[in-house]
Amino acid sequence: SGTLFPRSSKKTARAINAASGSRPLVVLANLSGFDGSPESLRNIQLKRNGRIVSTLDLYDLLLRGDTSADARLQPGDVIFIPSIGATAGVTGEIRRPAIYELKGESSVAELVYLGGGLTPEADPELAKLERIDERRERIVMDVDLTSPAALGTSLRSGDLLRIPGVKPTYAN
């Protein structure tokens, strides 16, 4: 059997046995009882004999249907779920508004991709990126999503991209 340790849980870590030959995705899908602490969806580690043998990014499954990193469990394996990493949010005229966990260096373009793309009602030229700066002050930057330079804007943890809808005016 394998063992699951939810590291970021505020409660005492618990072990869950999984049948040998199972896959981590199956174990995770049947898991319940976490205390609501934010665990990573992008860095789930399968450890064998104290070494990481596989890292599972659930975004690969959720966005692309890719299960290639879902290795078979062996006796003594541990599924380790660290705390969530850096996050950024996207709201407004986006198909999947949410807060997303970032992986490595991320850009506005990646956040739009994670959000499923713009809705037909979006006004991409009027998007705004809200950020807390080094002085702990909120700043707002104009981000024209039709511009490659703007799409390449680097994200920081805590950023929020707001995508407004087109103005409700009619052309004659």
Per the model's pLDDT, the better-predicted residue between 41 and 20 turns out to be 41
Q: Which residues contact 17 (CB under 8 A, 6 or more apart)?
A: 1, 2, 3
pLDDT at res. 168: 82
Strand extents, DSSP E, 69-126: 78-80, 87-92, 98-101
| Whole-angstrom Cα Rg for the chain | 20
Separation CA 50–CA 64 (nearest Å): 30
Above 90 in pLDDT, residue 172?
no
- Residue 127's H or E segment, with its range, is strand 127-132
Q: Which two tokens stand for residue 155?
A: 């994200």
pLDDT at res. 70: 81
**In this predicted structure, which of 25-29, 104-108, 111-115, 118-122 has the lowest mean pLDDT?**
25-29
8 Å CB contact between 89 and 99: yes
Q: What is the pLDDT of residues 35-80, one digit of tens each?
A: 456 788 898 888 889 899 999 898 998 888 888 888 888 888 888 8
Q: How confident is the model at residue 11 (pLDDT cuts 50, 70, 90)?
A: very low
The stretch 148-161 carries a mean pLDDT of: 97
The stretch 128-156 carries a mean pLDDT of: 96
Q: Which residues contact 44 (CB under 8 A, 6 or more apart)?
A: 24, 28, 55, 56, 57, 58, 79, 80, 81
